[in-house]
Amino acid sequence: MKKLLFTLVALPLSMSVMAQKLDLGIGGGYAKNAKPSFATSKDKAASSPILYAQASLKLIGFQVGLRGEYTKFMFKGDKGAYTGTPATGQYVDVMFGERVMNIRAFVNKTFAIPKVEPYVGINAGYSSAGSEAGKISNDKYGLGDLSGFTAGGQVGLTVFIMGKWGLNGQLGFDYYRLNNASATSSSGHLLSPNVTLGLRYRVL
């Protein structure tokens, strides 16, 4: 027990000693949602907005942090397949999630260049997607409440232009495996390439 308590106290202290910089960030962008496993062959990808906030701690050669995101998951679905009407070649907005909250931990490998920080990394976390189930309107169809696992990778660049303030650009590719709240098996998979722009503030 004493060893466990010592470890719990010593680990954050050792990380604080190793830490070089603490960054806070906000931003937004767009994702292209594609190929849900439960979709018909006539489905089309569609764009969705992203808003995010994050905090990261830079260790020697690496950056670790947490990122929270608010977004929507939607794609264009064949109207006949989702509304039970004969196929007409028309499309409805299929809501994989109208209100989506993601929380993900990330690790980036950073490269030391004065005032410029390129990085490449991976992430994993939890996603909760909420929407109505069934027909929402003549042009919108919902898949109900979904939640599950998300993981992906990212490459980006932060340029510090005014002291502690910086601009960030990032390209990401995320995978989602979400379950229906009332089901025991996976309800669907989603691939989501995305691009975001944001501000960074270096606290330390």
CATH of the domain at 75: 2.40.160.20
Provide the pLDDT for residue 137: 63
Provide the pLDDT for residue 16: 47
Assigned domain for 5 exists: no
Assigned domain for 15 exists: no
What gap in Å lies between CA 107 and CA 119, rounded to an integer? 10
Provide the pLDDT for residue 17: 46
Assigned domain for 175 exists: yes
Residue 197: which of 18, 17, 14, 28 has the closest Cα? 28
Assigned domain for 11 exists: no
Provide the pLDDT for residue 180: 75
Assigned domain for 7 exists: no
Provide the pLDDT for residue 13: 42
Full residue range of the structural domain in which residue 43 is found: 20-202
Assigned domain for 86 exists: yes
Tell me phi and psi for residue 12, to 5 degrees. -65, -30
Residue 49: which of 35, 68, 69, 67 has the closest Cα? 69
Provide the pLDDT for residue 112: 80
Could you write out the DSSP letters of every residue in the chain? Answer: -HHHHHHHHHHHHHHHHH--EEEEEEEEEEEEEB--TTS-TT-B-EEEEEEEEEEEEEETTEEEEEEEEEEEEEEEEEHHHHHSSPP-S-EEEEEEEEEEEEEEEEEEEE--BTTEEEEEEEEEEEEEEE--EEEEETTEEEE--EEEEEEEEEEEEEEEEETTEEEEEEEEEEEEEEEETT-SSEEEEEEEEEEEEEEEEE--
pLDDT tens string, the chain, 204 residues long: the values are 555 444 444 444 444 445 578 999 999 999 988 765 554 556 677 788 999 999 999 988 999 999 999 998 877 776 766 666 666 667 777 777 778 899 999 999 999 888 899 999 999 999 998 776 666 666 666 667 888 899 999 999 999 988 899 999 999 999 998 887 665 444 677 889 999 999 999 997
Assigned domain for 165 exists: yes
